């Protein structure tokens, strides 16, 4: 009965962790000191959300199986699962490439998280609802920050506009998956397709101000939610999990 | 008023512990010394993000990842406070950054050493931040107001940095055999560079010391270095590790630890750019700055457009 | 003035430095802003420091990220540094010293019996 809930919680955790990991790559390499600090803040928020979800998933696992045979912790869930077990959507694992792609990825995802967490606040599962409520404050800021940057870059210089077009071209194909419910989402009572129109409205509003075109319907990539990822995830996990894999059963 | 009177008034203020503020009259050399020192300090914070940032993606637990992210982010903040303090003396941040990238301005040589294992993150927090804090606590009383205030803020925030480093090593020192080796190895590699952070020996220069007279500095290199050795020599006992110095020994007469000779040739080589990572560090900073140029341009262009539109509306 | 300086941590002499290319400046530098933070309701905004931002919105967000990482604030003001007008230190004597002999403006000037509390 709780299996879908475990999967769903892991999905939420993986999304936050992988995007947090990606954003953290900017730390020390941002385009200007103030923005280096800003993107790191968002990364910190996301890692914090991931920890909350992983901790809850570990609790759920202990409720359903014997703790002594399957000890689960936030770290075992983040560090010892394989590529095929990760349930994050494809969007969050896409590379940073440049500031435009990082900004657009953040905008697409924060826009989604903002709507999702509002829904999740009302979920029957009080623990998920509590994490969502806490995270919503952070996400509200991420959405505002990334929206403003989309507008700045879209309506900035010819080069920044061009780079945003390129980013849209790269990332749009990963936005469909977000709104196609996996089995565990349906069973958890969260249907993301319901808030897709609101998501699209926000994109239209921001793109309009940014003088950027909203793409026509195109083919959408999917598979991340059920463990079929792009090649990027393997490399992300290789780095992320290296120490725990190299020195098993150690305290850090 | 003749210049001499200004200088006398200025020195009187210093002697009476009155802070110098941005618009006050100050000798040109005082301004220059402060710009050089504050900007070097700022550059050190920024370049210092790189060796540690190196391990954010590989941190061994989610808790350690979050702590390290927060710590490296703090360093960015500290760099920002310091650039702001230096800007009050009339040099723009962009000029300072250009000087860093051209090799004209320096940063603390310690950051030209590589971080090879996770234990290095612990060693940096404990030894490198520990050495930096000795200096920074002194600088909270420096004579230039904006610099002193930046240091107060920084010291307040830094208090967790050294502790988290020590804690990383403490966990390793109580861990598996492999972790203990990792811990000792990191201490071996970071100890001498950390001692070099305090700069050349006092005896290298016996003449008048303007920085002390102006109270930009309040303790000599050797005094600070000795304080540091005394502190670390005690703390390492808790770790059950050894400092890589056969001559390290308590001297009951001096009430200080004696310690061995620093390799000064290595010190000057690293300062001159021949450290293990000088090239990579500067390259990484230059690359970040160059790749960010279109972003800075776009934001400036957009701000200009929006201001123009508002003007049109008002007209 | 010619003296031999002694150099300290974080203060490496230029003559010992490596390369030396003349620095250049471009137009992409964002303006400087001064940041004022109210640390809690009921207190004044206090100068916290400065930062660079392209516009006011960005300046407020940067200030939030830079100066309130540890819950230091509940409200932020920013103003572009070039719009700050400051009194000149040379006039300090004429501006502030006349207040020195107006001790009657301070409550401690008045000697009241101990029985009179809370005044």
On the question of pLDDT at A199 being above 80, the answer is yes
- Give the HSE-up count for residue B254: Cα atoms under 13 Å, Cβ half-sphere: 11
Which A residues, 46 through 75, put their C-beta within 8 Å of a C-beta on chain B?
Answer: 47-48, 50-51, 54, 74-75
Which chain C residue lies closest to A35 (C-alpha atoms)?
C62
End-to-end CA distance of chain B: 49
Which chain B residue lies closest to A159 (C-alpha atoms)?
B294
The mean pLDDT value for A234-240 works out to: 98
- C42: which 2 tokens? 């009921």
- The partner residue sitting opposite B118, judged by closest CB among A34, A157, A243, is A243
Contact of B207 with B237, CB cutoff 8 Å:
no
ipTM above 0.90, yes or no: yes
Interface contact C76, partner A, CB < 8 A? no
Q: Which chains touch C (3 or more CB pairs under 8 A)?
A: A, B
- A52: which 2 tokens? 């909350």
- The CATH topology of domain A3-246 is Ferritin (1.20.1260)
A30: chain B residues, CB-CB within 8 Å: 288, 292
| Separation in Å, CA of C107 to nearest CA in chain B | 27
Element (H, E) at C78: strand C75-80
Give the pLDDT of residue B177: 97
Tens digit of pLDDT for each residue in A82-108?
Answer: 999 999 999 999 999 999 999 999 999
| Separation in Å, CA of B48 to nearest CA in chain C | 12
Give the pLDDT of residue C15: 44
Which chain A residue lies closest to B292 (C-alpha atoms)?
A31
Per-residue pLDDT for chain B (315 aa), expressed as one digit of tens each? Answer: 566 788 899 999 999 999 999 888 999 999 999 999 999 999 999 999 999 999 999 999 999 999 999 999 999 999 999 999 999 999 999 999 999 999 999 999 999 999 999 999 999 999 999 999 998 999 999 999 999 999 999 998 888 899 999 999 999 999 999 999 999 999 999 999 999 999 988 887 544 478 888 888 888 899 999 999 999 999 999 999 999 999 999 999 999 999 999 999 999 999 888 999 999 999 999 999 999 999 999 999 999 999 999 888 887
Q: What is the pTM of this model?
A: 0.90
- Subunit contact C9:B25, Cβ cutoff 8 A: no
User: If pLDDT is split at 50, 70 and 90, which confidence band does A2 have?
Assistant: low
- Subunit contact B104:C17, Cβ cutoff 8 A: yes
Interface contact B116, partner A, CB < 8 A? no
Tens digit of pLDDT for each residue in A105-133?
Answer: 999 999 999 999 999 999 999 999 999 99
The mean pLDDT value for C29-36 works out to: 91
- A47: which 2 tokens? 């890692």
Q: What is the DSSP string of chain B?
A: --HHHHHHHHHHHHHTTPPB-TTS---HHHHHHHHHHHHHHHHHHHHHHHHHHTTTTT-SSHHHHHHHHHHHHHHHHHHHHHHHHHHTTT--HHHHHHHHHHTSS---GGGGS---SHHHHHHIIIIIHHHHHHHHHHHTT-SBHHHHHHHHHHHHHHHHHHHHHHHHHHHHHTS-HHHHHHHHHHHHHHHHHHHHTT-S-GGG--S--HHHHTTS--S-HHHHHHHHHHHHHHHHHHHT---S-TT-EEETTTTEEE-----HHHHHHIIIIISTTHHHHHHHHHHHHHHTHHHHHHHHHHHHHHHHHHHHHH-
Q: Where do the domains of chain A lie?
A: 3-246
The residues, ordered by sequence, that sit 6+ positions from B183 with a Cβ below 8 Å of its Cβ are: B119, B122, B169, B172, B173, B239, B241
- A190: which 2 tokens? 């969260």
Q: What is the DSSP string of A119-134?
A: HHTT-S-HHHHHHHHH
Give the pLDDT of residue C92: 64
Contact of A224 with A87, CB cutoff 8 Å:
yes
- B204: which 2 tokens? 């290298």
Domains of chain C: 1-26 (no CATH), 31-85 (3.10.20.520)
Q: Looking at residue A77, what DSSP letter applies? A: H
- The partner residue sitting opposite A28, judged by closest CB among B66, B72, B171, is B72
Give the number of other CB atoms < 10 A from CB of residue A35: 25
């Amino acid at each position: 009965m709780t299996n879908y809930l475990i999967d769903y919680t892991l999905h939420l955790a993986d999304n936050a962790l992988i995007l947090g990991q990606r954003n953290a790559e900017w730390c020390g390499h941002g385009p200007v000191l103030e923005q280096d600090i800003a993107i790191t803040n968002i990364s910190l928020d996301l890692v914090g959300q991931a920890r909350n979800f992983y901790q809850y998933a570990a609790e759920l696992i202990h409720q359903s199986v014997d703790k002594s045979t399957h000890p689960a912790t936030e770290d075992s869930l983040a560090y010892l699962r394989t590529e095929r077990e990760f349930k994050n959507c494809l969007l969050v694992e896409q590379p940073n490439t440049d500031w435009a792609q990082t900004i657009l990825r953040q905008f697409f995802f924060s826009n989604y998280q903002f709507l999702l967490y509002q829904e999740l606040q009302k979920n029957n599962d009080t623990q998920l609802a509590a994490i969502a409520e806490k995270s919503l404050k952070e996400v509200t800021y991420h959405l505002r920050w990334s929206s403003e940057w989309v507008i700045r870059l879209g309506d900035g210089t010819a080069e920044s506009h061009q780079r945003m077009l390129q980013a849209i071209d790269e990332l749009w194909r990963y936005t469909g998956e977000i709104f196609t419910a996996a089995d565990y989402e349906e069973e958890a009572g969260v249907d993301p397709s319901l808030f897709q129109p609101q998501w699209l409205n926000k994109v239209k509003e921001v793109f309009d101000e940014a003088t950027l075109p909203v793409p026509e319907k195109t083919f959408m990539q999917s598979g991340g939610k059920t463990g079929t990822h792009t090649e990027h995830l393997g490399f992300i996990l290789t780095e992320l999990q290296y120490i725990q894999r190299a020195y098993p059963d150690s305290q850090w | 008023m003749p210049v001499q009177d200004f200088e006398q008034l200025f020195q009187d203020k210093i002697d009476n512990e009155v802070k110098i503020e941005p618009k006050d009259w100050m000798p040109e050399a005082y301004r220059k010394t402060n710009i050089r020192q504050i900007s070097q300090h700022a550059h050190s914070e920024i370049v210092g993000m790189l060796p540690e940032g190196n391990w954010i993606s590989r941190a061994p637990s989610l808790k350690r990842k979050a702590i390290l992210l927060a710590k490296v982010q703090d360093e960015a903040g500290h760099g920002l406070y310091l650039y702001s303090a230096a800007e009050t003396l009339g040099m723009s941040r962009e000029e300072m950054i250009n000087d860093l990238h051209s090799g004209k301005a320096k940063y603390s040589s310690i950051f030209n050493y590589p971080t090879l294992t996770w234990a290095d993150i612990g060693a940096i927090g404990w030894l490198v931040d520990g050495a930096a804090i000795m200096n920074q606590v002194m600088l909270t009383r420096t004579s230039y107001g904006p610099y002193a205030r930046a240091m107060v803020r920084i010291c307040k925030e830094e208090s967790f940095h050294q502790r988290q480093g020590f804690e990383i090593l403490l966990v390793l020192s109580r861990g598996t055999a492999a972790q203990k080796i990792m811990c000792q190895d990191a201490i071996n590699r970071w100890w001498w560079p950390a001692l070099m952070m305090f700069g050349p020996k006092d005896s290298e220069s016996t003449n008048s010391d303007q920085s002390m007279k102006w109270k930009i500095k309040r303790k000599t290199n050797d005094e600070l270095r000795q304080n540091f050795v005394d502190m670390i020599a005690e703390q390492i006992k808790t770790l059950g590790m050894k400092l890589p110095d056969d001559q390290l020994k308590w001297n009951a007469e001096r009430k200080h630890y004696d310690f061995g000779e620093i390799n000064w040739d290595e010190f000057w080589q690293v300062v001159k750019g021949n450290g293990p990572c000088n090239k990579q560090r500067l390259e990484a900073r230059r690359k970040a700055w160059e790749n960010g140029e279109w972003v800075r341009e776009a934001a400036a262009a957009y701000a200009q457009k929006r201001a123009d539109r508002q003007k049109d509306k008002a007209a | 003035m010619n003296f031999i300086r002694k150099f300290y941590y974080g203060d490496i002499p230029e003559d010992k430095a490596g390369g030396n290319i003349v620095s250049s400046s471009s137009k992409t530098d964002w303006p400087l802003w001064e940041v004022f933070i109210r640390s809690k309701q009921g207190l004044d905004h206090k100068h916290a420091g400065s930062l660079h931002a392209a516009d006011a919105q960005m300046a407020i967000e940067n200030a939030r990220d830079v100066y309130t990482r540890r819950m230091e604030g509940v409200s932020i003001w920013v103003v572009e540094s070039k719009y700050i007008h400051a009194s000149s230190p040379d006039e300090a004597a004429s501006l502030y010293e006349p207040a020195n002999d107006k001790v009657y403006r301070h409550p401690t000037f008045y000697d009241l019996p101990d029985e009179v509390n809370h005044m």
